Structure 1
Amino acid sequence: MTRKTVDTLILDLDNTIFDWFAVWYASFEPIYKEIIRVTGLPPQEIEKNVRAVHQARRTSEYTFLLEELEALKHLRDGEDIRARFHDALEESRHGRDKNLKLYPSVFRCLWDLKKRGTKIIAYTESMGFYSAHRLKRFGLDGVIDVLFSPEDHDLPAGVSLDKLRRLPDEYYELQVTQVRHKPNPRVLLDIIQAVGATIDRCAYVGDSLFKDVAMARDIGVFDIHAKYGTSQQKPEYALLQKVSHWTEADVQREREITAKGHSFEPSAVLKETFAEIFIYCDFQPFAPEKKKNPDADEIKNSIEVWKKTVDVQQHFNDLEMRIRNFAITIIGVLIAAVGFTYQQGLQTSVFGYRFAAGLGLIVAAAVVWLGFFLMDRFWYHILLKGAVAHARKIEEQLKDKVAGISLGKTITEVSGSVKIFGVTMNSDKRLTNFYLLGFAMLAVVFVSLVFASPSGPNLGGGSALSAPLQSVPLEKAAEKE
């Protein structure tokens, strides 16, 4: 027999590496019997109540069953329900711990695979918290590379984990094994793609023919039936079917396969122990799947870079708009100050010459306006143009591969064809003209102050000076007086 070359082993944890059913039954049965005894209701009604909770919470091993079971509502209203079921809970915990152990040879075999470099993936329908806790107990944290499980259910209102847990959080959480949550517990292909494995070098081991083996066969993965973990023939299994979170269709299908057999044969069958897997598989170090289409990844990465470049464009464009708004605000304040000095008739003397005080403010405004122009035109505008140019380079590389990726080119073309009073102006010219208009405005105000004749408190009741704003020496003014 030719053995299958495998570098990725995917395990269904439950009833494959440990007896999940034995753990479940030992944990559930004491509480189930106590509920029937306390309520006095027939088993069929209790089972219906339990299944409703399990289906709502998407799990058949729900820690807070007592807090949500409808049949116990009248008891919860009057007392501490966990105190009432204390003995049953202790028996449940003891039974769970007693049965929570790996099948023979599992630990040794998994460590052997780990040393060979084979990637080991765990797959389960149990919630993440329960599964992680079990792997910790089994000593498999770090032996199993990735654990895929459904997301944990929410806690009932008023329930605190701190009060229920007896040990620190680190005791329950995995430290090395990576935990991921799968959106659909039936999609084995998603798991294979997520870990970068190849279908033809994977093997999947599970105890259920209608779930595990059938799922693997559907996508062409080498399927291995862990027959030693089959629990469907046990008489106690009927209770699980009655209270399970599974749909009625799943339960019925499983019953039919168990009763009539199946129409297919597994590729490999482990009859007695997990160690029999070496009969069928030649385990090799994990080799990540080679990219089938490297161009696709390159295009994807280029698009991400292009998006970031567009973000940078928007950032610098926003900074330029802020700079201009800020410049206009400051110049407006300075011109308002000029108006105040003019109204008050304030003047200043420099080297024996009198000037309107507002002229100094106009000069200061011109210097500030020039500073904003230099920062805008030769700093942020240059960076904006660089970002646009870089985006165009990326677009040029992707133009034949990605339809419609031409934003930078379009912006450049549209911006360069803008006409103002019939004159075509690109972004550089528009920016320069914007600031030239500001300088022109300041020049007009400057000239107006030079030839204006202010009046105010300092000029004696509003009388004008013969040349208040002209460059007249103080000595000559004194002689005239």
Structure 2
Amino acid sequence: MSDGDHPVGADGLPFSEHNLEKLAWEKKAHELSLSQEREIELIKIRKEIWEKTIDTQMHFNDMSGKSRQLGISLVIAALGLAVVLLYRREDATVTFSIFGLIVSTHISGIIVMISSISILAIKQLDLEVYHKMLRGAVAFGEEIETMHLSKDVLKTEKGLTGAISHFSRHSDASLLKCGDGSHYIGSKRVNAADKIRRFYSIAFFATLILGVCLTGTFLNVKSAPSGAVQNTQTDSKNGQQSTEKSGS
């Protein structure tokens, strides 16, 4: 409502220019307060998402570490069993016949070679499952830190995920202290997946070569006796004839 040329309030009293200006500032302050509250709420939400991302990274990193520990444990167990069986050489000999030859060797080498094959299975689980999930969690964490946390909240060049990734991806990574903060430097880029592959490759070939050496050391090949070969052939023919009779 208005009284002549002067605006009036709900009580019919006229507003002065001072009162109008005061109301305008109060409205602006209220809108600014709401905006700040929304921004603070967004920061809290982003912080919670970031914390959950860090927990996810730790989970997948822990799973990768456990898979590598499992591989090392299998190799150590195989080596320990091989050492024990070496003291029982006669009792731990495997003999089989192939292509008319009788082959015998110590079982310790076979056990070590089997453990090398298990390393390949664990490598597949680690690199193709856990490591890829970890890389996804790291990429998401770096995006959150770069877009929402590093400059506005943390006031640093990189966040926790970005700093860890930088030192993991560069063999010459270092932190340069400057007046306006710290800067991450490094030019020799390395791939974490390549380092993990080298670890598994060394473990695989080392155990495989050791298993082959143990097998070759105790390997004994003899020609099967002619009588045994003939008996084997006769048994095979008799078996075929009995099969044909049963079929007819």
Q: CA deviation at 1:308?
A: 1.0
Is contact 1:331-1:365 (8 Å) kept?
Answer: yes
Q: Does 1:324 align with 2:68?
A: yes
Give the structure 1 partner of residue 93 of structure 2.
347
Superposed, 1:5-44 pairs within 5 Å as: none
Structure 2 distance, partners of 1:397, 1:292, is 19
Gaps of 5+ in 1: 4-199, 201-288, 454-468
Give the structure 1 partner of residue 22 of structure 2.
none
Is contact 1:312-1:387 (8 Å) kept?
Answer: yes
Q: Does 1:374 align with 2:124?
A: yes
**Total equivalences in the alignment:** 175
Give the structure 2 partner of residue 411 of structure 1.
164
Gaps of 5+ in 2: 1-8, 12-25, 27-32, 173-187, 229-248
Matched residue type, 1:347: T
Task: Name the CA shift for 1:395/1:300 in 2 (closer, same or farther; >3 Å).
Answer: same
Q: CA deviation at 1:446?
A: 1.6
Q: CA deviation at 1:388?
A: 0.6
Match of 1:304 among 35, 44, 48: 48
Q: Work out which structure has the larger RCO, using CA pairs closer than 8 Å and 6 or more positions apart in sequence.
A: 2
Structure 1 distance, partners of 2:216, 2:36, is 80
Match of 2:111 among 342, 349, 361: 361
Matched residue type, 1:414: F
Match of 1:401 among 141, 152, 159: 152
Secondary structure of the residue that 1:344 maps to in structure 2?
A: coil
Listed one character per residue, the Cα deviations across residues 188-234 of structure 1 (whole Å, up to 9, x for unaligned) are xxxxxxxxxxxx9xxxxxxxxxxxxxxxxxxxxxxxxxxxxxxxxxx
Q: CA deviation at 1:337?
A: 1.1
Listed one character per residue, the Cα deviations across residues 99-127 of structure 1 (whole Å, up to 9, x for unaligned) are xxxxxxxxxxxxxxxxxxxxxxxxxxxxx
**Greater share of helix residues, 1 or 2?**
2
Is contact 2:108-2:215 (8 Å) kept?
Answer: no
Q: CA deviation at 1:389?
A: 0.6
Matched residue type, 1:400: K
Secondary structure of the residue that 2:54 maps to in structure 1?
A: helix
Secondary structure of the residue that 2:151 maps to in structure 1?
A: coil
Is contact 1:450-1:470 (8 Å) kept?
Answer: no
Root-mean-square deviation (CA, aligned residues, Å) is 2.7
Is contact 1:418-1:426 (8 Å) kept?
Answer: no
Task: Name the CA shift for 1:397/1:415 in 2 (closer, same or farther; >3 Å).
Answer: same
Structure 1 distance, partners of 2:192, 2:125, is 15
Q: CA deviation at 1:412?
A: 1.4
Q: CA deviation at 1:443?
A: 2.2
Q: CA deviation at 1:470?
A: 4.3
Q: Which has the larger radius of gyration?
A: 1
Give the structure 2 partner of residue 386 of structure 1.
136
Listed one character per residue, the Cα deviations across residues 383-430 of structure 1 (whole Å, up to 9, x for unaligned) are 1111111101111211332223522221111101137xxx96421111
Listed one character per residue, the Cα deviations across residues 233-258 of structure 1 (whole Å, up to 9, x for unaligned) are xxxxxxxxxxxxxxxxxxxxxxxxxx
Matched residue type, 1:302: R
Taking only the aligned residue pairs, the percentage that are identical comes to: 21
Task: Name the CA shift for 1:435/1:473 in 2 (closer, same or farther; >3 Å).
Answer: farther
Q: CA deviation at 1:442?
A: 0.5
Give the structure 2 partner of residue 451 of structure 1.
216
Q: CA deviation at 1:326?
A: 2.3
296-305 or 386-395: which moved more?
296-305
Secondary structure of the residue that 2:225 maps to in structure 1?
A: helix
Task: Name the CA shift for 1:472/1:330 in 2 (closer, same or farther; >3 Å).
Answer: same
Q: CA deviation at 1:340?
A: 2.2
Task: Name the CA shift for 1:298/1:445 in 2 (closer, same or farther; >3 Å).
Answer: same
Superposed, 1:43-54 pairs within 5 Å as: none
Listed one character per residue, the Cα deviations across residues 257-300 of structure 1 (whole Å, up to 9, x for unaligned) are xxxxxxxxxxxxxxxxxxxxxxxxxxxxxxxx955442332222
Structure 1 distance, partners of 2:207, 2:189, is 26
